[in-house]
Chains A and B, each alone.
Chain A
Amino acid sequence: MSAGGSGGGAKGGYPPQTIMAIGAIGGLAGIYLGHFMPPAFSFFGGLGAICAIVWGADAVRRVASYGLGTGVPSIGMISLGMGIVAALFGLSVGGIAGPIVSFIAAAIIGAVIGVLANKVIGMGIPIMEQAMVEIAGAGTLAIIGLSVVIAGSFNYGDVVQYVVANGYIALIFIIGGMGILHPFNANLGPDEKQDRTLSVAVEKAAIALIIAGFASSLHEGLMSAGLNIAVGLAIWAFGFMKYYGFIKRDAHAVVGTGLLPSAEELQ
């Protein structure tokens, strides 16, 4: 799976700082809104998770365009691996500051792994340290955000009881990880565009919100679950239409059926 680009940084579209700000601030704000509002508004946690997943997808896009040698999925998996450790740690010691503690813990773990990857293993990717910090942070916020959707708050006890004990954490792990790694993996190629990749990130994150919303019916009741699902569906439809628009803009042609282009057309 070494098809991940051929060196050189990814270009175009929104600068990384903008996306980073959206991801970090939007993610934390969403999580806190989801925590303090009554359970019916827990979808704010999902909105925070969407911001975080978009941020993670952008960071993956920047680092994976250097070519990792192992394919894009590995970095999504390490993101969520670090995220899950940091998220549960932060919630367990941080109390009301839990998400922020988690975020800082994730940044530390990410920085250490990034430095190790460059200095000890010698991958030689210039933005590896920064990207690992970003990816770990985004993974952490995505996990906490989706946990808030299911549990209604980020109290450690609630999260452990309603999210971890019944194994939904595995669901969050895989669907958050797919949200972060799938957009770039799906749009891999020499003509990859940032806005198209990020629109897939929005769409996949909305699916995560729908599924987490469905799971939240166990604890929060049907009304808030329905609201979660409705918000998720609306964002999904928006994201998918946006994505299809970008496809029509970027693709060579979108046709019902037909022959491959002939040799003359390829000149």
Chain B
Amino acid sequence: MCSVGAAIATVLISEFTLSPLFALVFGAIIAACVHATFAVTSTMGRCASQKRFKQPIYLDMIRSHTPVIMGYSFITTFCILVVSYLMTVVLGHPFPLTMLAFIWGITVGAIGSSTGDVHYGAEREFQQFEFGSGLNASNSGNIVRYAESGLRNGYDNSWFCAKFGGPVTGIAFGMTVFLGSWITTVFDPARGLAQGWYSVIAGVIIVLILIIWNWKIEVKARSDFGPYKEDKSEEASA
């Protein structure tokens, strides 16, 4: 989708000599419209393909969610276009704008689906579990059907993703772009080979810090949440 927006922006910049800002905005709008058609067809298609479970398709759900999806899509596309535009024009990256946007789009898709929405299956679809108690598989399928007020269904589970998953996805993508570019900006390889190797070393140090951070979190979680099962082998030996 970002590629769509970028292509349109490229056309506008080159053909109509519009200002880049306007072109990027317009490209993002078109991309949002295309995104909306994808959202609508997949929502209706999946529901219709599960006819045997007798779930009706709610048109009000589509009407109220599609503009929101378009809005988020617009924001995402526009931000990625700005990043790509800056990389091409200011930092002098050799890849064309459309291709950079394509690559960042794939990357943000990977990050988003691996960080932001991991909670969608673990949130309110499982009723009442104590925080930190792990996820018992037998809770699965214990679907919450009624919310505090009115109906509750799968669409509302995105609430958590929007409040916590979305921002951390943004942080993750920002960290990727920032750390990836920062090391070559501080240690500019154009100033000589040694500087280029410094940038590589800086990157490796960043990765090592992240590994240690992950290990610290793991240790903390283990001590806070505790083991979920009794250690049978120790009992046997005792």
Q: Decide yes or no whether B68 CB sits under 8 A from chain A.
A: no
Q: Decide yes or no whether B197 CB sits under 8 A from chain A.
A: no
Are B99 and A167 neighbours in the complex by a CB distance under 8 Å? yes
Min C-beta distance of A172 to chain B, whole Å:
9
Are B41 and A167 neighbours in the complex by a CB distance under 8 Å? no
Residues of A181-219 contacting chain B, CB below 8 A: 182, 185-193, 196-197, 200, 203-204, 207, 211, 214-215, 217-218
Q: In the complex, which residues of chain B have a beta carbon less than 8 angstroms from the beta carbon of A207?
A: 34, 37
Q: Which of B42, B47, B54, B57 contacts A265 (CB 8 A)?
A: B54
Whether A247 touches B44, Cβ cut-off 8 Å, given contacts A167-B97, A170-B102, is yes
- Interface 0/1 of B93-114, CB less than 8 Å to A: 0011111111101000000000
Are A186 and B41 neighbours in the complex by a CB distance under 8 Å? yes
Q: Which of A170, A196, A203, A246 contacts B37 (CB 8 A)?
A: A203
Q: Decide yes or no whether B141 CB sits under 8 A from chain A.
A: no
Q: In the complex, which residues of chain B have a beta carbon less than 8 angstroms from the beta carbon of A197?
A: 45
Q: Which of B6-14, B117-125, B157-165, B174-182 contacts A (4 or more CB under 8 A)?
A: B6-14
The winner among B41, B44, B61 for most chain A CB atoms within 10 A is: B41
Kindly report which residue of chain B lies nearest to residue A206, judged by CB atoms: B37
Min C-beta distance of A140 to chain B, whole Å:
19
Q: What is the interface residue range for chain A against chain B?
A: 35 or more
Min C-beta distance of B6 to chain A, whole Å:
8
CB contacts between A and B, total, < 8 Å:
155
Whether A252 touches B102, Cβ cut-off 8 Å, given contacts A178-B38, A247-B48, is no
Q: Decide yes or no whether A121 CB sits under 8 A from chain B.
A: no
Q: Decide yes or no whether A257 CB sits under 8 A from chain B.
A: yes
Q: Please tell me the number of chain B residues within 8 Å of chain A, measured between CB atoms.
A: 47
Q: In the complex, which residues of chain A have a beta carbon less than 8 angstroms from the beta carbon of B10?
A: 166-168, 215, 218
Q: Which of B4, B6, B55, B59 contacts A252 (CB 8 A)?
A: B55
Min C-beta distance of B153 to chain A, whole Å:
8
Q: In the complex, which residues of chain A have a beta carbon less than 8 angstroms from the beta carbon of B56?
A: 251-255, 258, 260-261
Distance, CA A212 to CA B51, complexed state (A)? 36
Are B41 and A214 neighbours in the complex by a CB distance under 8 Å? no
Q: In the complex, which residues of chain A have a beta carbon less than 8 angstroms from the beta carbon of B11?
A: 214-215, 217-218
Interface of A is mostly: helix
- Interface 0/1 of B9-47, CB less than 8 Å to A: 011001100000000000000100010011001101111
Q: Decide yes or no whether A243 CB sits under 8 A from chain B.
A: yes
Are B57 and A218 neighbours in the complex by a CB distance under 8 Å? no
Are A168 and B41 neighbours in the complex by a CB distance under 8 Å? no
Q: In the complex, which residues of chain B have a beta carbon less than 8 angstroms from the beta carbon of A170?
A: 3, 98-99, 101-103
Are B96 and A167 neighbours in the complex by a CB distance under 8 Å? yes
Are B57 and A247 neighbours in the complex by a CB distance under 8 Å? yes
Whether A259 touches B151, Cβ cut-off 8 Å, given contacts A250-B51, A252-B54, is yes
Q: In the complex, which residues of chain A have a beta carbon less than 8 angstroms from the beta carbon of B99?
A: 167, 169-170
Distance, CA A121 to CA B49, complexed state (A)? 31
Q: Decide yes or no whether B216 CB sits under 8 A from chain A.
A: no
Q: Decide yes or no whether B222 CB sits under 8 A from chain A.
A: no
Q: Which of B3, B50, B61, B102 contacts A189 (CB 8 A)?
A: B50
Chain B residues proximal to chain A, CB less than 8 Å: 1, 3-4, 6-8, 10-11, 14-15, 30, 34, 37-38, 41-42, 44-61, 95-103, 105, 145, 151, 153
A sample of 5 more A-B contacts (CB under 8 A), given A170-B102, A257-B59, is A167-B100, A190-B50, A214-B11, A217-B15, A252-B51
Chain A residues proximal to chain B, CB less than 8 Å: 165-171, 173-175, 178, 182, 185-193, 196-197, 200, 203-204, 207, 211, 214-215, 217-218, 240, 243-244, 246-247, 250-261, 265-266
The 24 listed contacts between A and B (C-beta, < 8 Å) are: A166-B98, A167-B7, A167-B98, A167-B99, A167-B100, A168-B98, A170-B103, A175-B3, A182-B38, A186-B46, A187-B46, A189-B48, A190-B49, A191-B52, A197-B45, A207-B37, A215-B7, A217-B11, A247-B45, A247-B57, A251-B51, A252-B53, A254-B59, A261-B56
* List of 10 A-B pairs having minimum Cβ-Cβ separation, nearest first: A189-B49, A167-B96, A167-B98, A170-B102, A186-B42, A186-B45, A187-B45, A167-B99, A253-B56, A251-B48
